[in-house]
Chains A and B, each alone.
Chain A
Amino acid sequence: MAEPLLRVENLVRRFGGIIATDHVSLDVAAGELHAIIGPNGAGKTTLISQLTGHLSPHSGSVLLGGRDITYLPAYRRCALGLARSFQITSLLLDFTAADNVALAAQAHAGTSFRFFANARKEKGLRDAAHAALDRVGLAHRADVVVNRLSHGERRELELAVALASKPKLLLLDEPMAGLGVTESQRMVKLLQELRKEVSIVLVEHDMPAVFALADRISVLVYGRVIASGDPAAIRQNEDVKRAYLGDQHVVTHHG
């Protein structure tokens, strides 16, 4: 089998006495959409943060395309083709949508130690920004300051920013969080398009969306992966059903 794009081996992260990530191992193949689900507090965001480099694991390793990136800082991982979106929207609120995306493009287009020329007039960056905005359907809002964008638009802008860095692997931390029904449907449609171009790790609560999109699903409970497999297998898995007892209807009914 070919080298997986992302390989996580025996990752451990503790907060005091709590083990938030408990010997997690998983592989993401190139071209795959790999979903990570789990009840609240299962350690999904902790896991993602270790993948992006915002948090260091206590042991274990993270490999991107065979290269050990376990202790690389976030900005270096980004340069290697790893992009993320945040669970709680994290954008430059006082910048326009186009500026947000153009900055992401700028990070991957030569040095930013240029002090004199007007960056907003660099055609390459602006074109890249508009292409990414167009991709997520926000082209008409390019010059609006993020403060004035709706929640749904901000979620889409998060995606555009991630796309602008031309990533190999996209880590999406609950892209549907807080979206209404129609907005969620738009987002699912968008992700269905994007997954043709880029490998995706998707952390998501929205079960219908996960089962509609994922090639493979890993289930995280108390920091541990209790099951990993294709959507059909996960749906049948007894451990998963038990873990989701309170939320069981979510798995069975909507599936």
Chain B
Amino acid sequence: MAAVSQSAMTAEPSVASPKMTARDLNLFYSDNQALFDVNLDIVERQVTALIGPSGCGKSTFLRCLNRMNDTIDGVTINGKVTLDNRDIYDKHIDVVQLRARIGMVFQKPNPFPKSIYDNVAYGPRIHGLVNSRDELDEIVMTSLERAGLLKEVKDRLQSPATGLSGGQQQRLCIARAVAVSPEVILMDEPCSALDPIATAKVEELIDELRSNYTIVIVTHSMQQAARVSQRTAFFHLGKLVEVGETDQIFTNPKDERTKGYITGRFG
């Protein structure tokens, strides 16, 4: 059976012209290895869901994709991650620009303690994306619109973002990420702190964003993965066990561990 899973791991990942790829990615927290030879392709304008039990390395992997792991002490990474066929760990790559191209939404809504407007405007401002106040206004409005938040907040753009509800805050964080026109949006369990109604809204939003952005989402909820994603990757103990079309993973998993996880036998 081990042989089967090994073959599943190496056989599946390649797709034609992926947006991002990871090749033989290994990651160590000091002496602890957290990722083992991960090979994964992220398809453009699709939602890729990363699932797996807690501590399996799916969040760690996600954070490799925009080099957020750089900020943690004692992390060593080897292997290759590419964006549009360019290695993002190349020393000529500007991390700041990279993170503007690959936006991120976190598990807990983390708006800045500023106004709603300033939260969304922050990214365009620091990257110098706008020349005038009008342009900035427009970016803020369209970003809020895309995040499905405009209707709720358009009368109180100057009030503090921390006064919004949890679900609104999370959509604000998505608007904030969208405002810098990223190509890829990484979402680290974006709904884990939200109630079911807010979750439904965010899921709807993810589905709409798919037409413009490539999305990678880490989730603990298999229903959510099934609902929002086109491709699903199953991680276990730092290894990518199986990846494929979401339908296939949920209806006909090739690996015994995947089957065990999605049918709720462990995890």
Q: Do A and B come from one complex?
A: no
Q: Residues of B with Cβ closer than 8 Å to A?
A: none
